[in-house]
């Protein structure tokens, strides 16, 4: 089972902000959307490039290279040229810390 990785303390990641964290080789981006935390893999499934560097509009991140949109809440690919979802990761609050882990190999 993979380990939980601390991203920040509650209050350090304000609504609308995000932070990239390494999950044992996988880059995850953790978002605060209106006080709820979500984590997706920092990978565009169209070209395997990073999603960070793009813009966030509401609960969507827009790939900086070709404009594919992904749901931050579900990882779903919402527009072409991406058709496959990006991975999502569980997020929890433990002892006032925001934590995430890569559970794909559990």
The C-alpha atoms of residue 21 and residue 49 are separated, in whole angstroms, by 16
> What does the pLDDT look like over 63-101, one tens digit per residue?
999 999 999 999 999 999 999 999 999 999 999 999 999
Instruction: Domain 5-100: give its CATH superfamily.
Output: Rieske [2Fe-2S] iron-sulphur domain (2.102.10.10)
pTM to 2 decimals? 0.95
Torsion sign (Cα): 24, 102, 42, 7: negative
| pLDDT at residue 1, rounded to an integer | 60
Q: How much is the mean pLDDT over the chain?
A: 96
Upper half-sphere CA count for residue 33 (Cβ side, 13 Å): 18
């Amino acid at each position: 089972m993979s380990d939980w990785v601390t991203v920040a303390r509650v209050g350090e990641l304000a609504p609308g902000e995000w932070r990239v964290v390494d999950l044992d080789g996988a880059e995850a981006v953790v978002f605060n959307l209106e006080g709820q935390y979500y984590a997706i893999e920092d990978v565009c499934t169209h070209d395997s490039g990073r999603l960070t560097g793009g813009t966030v509009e509401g609960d969507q991140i827009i790939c900086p290279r070709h404009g594919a949109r992904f749901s931050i809440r579900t990882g779903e690919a919402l527009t072409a040229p991406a058709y496959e979802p990006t991975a999502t990761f569980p997020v929890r609050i433990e002892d006032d810390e925001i934590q995430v882990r890569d559970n794909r190999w559990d």
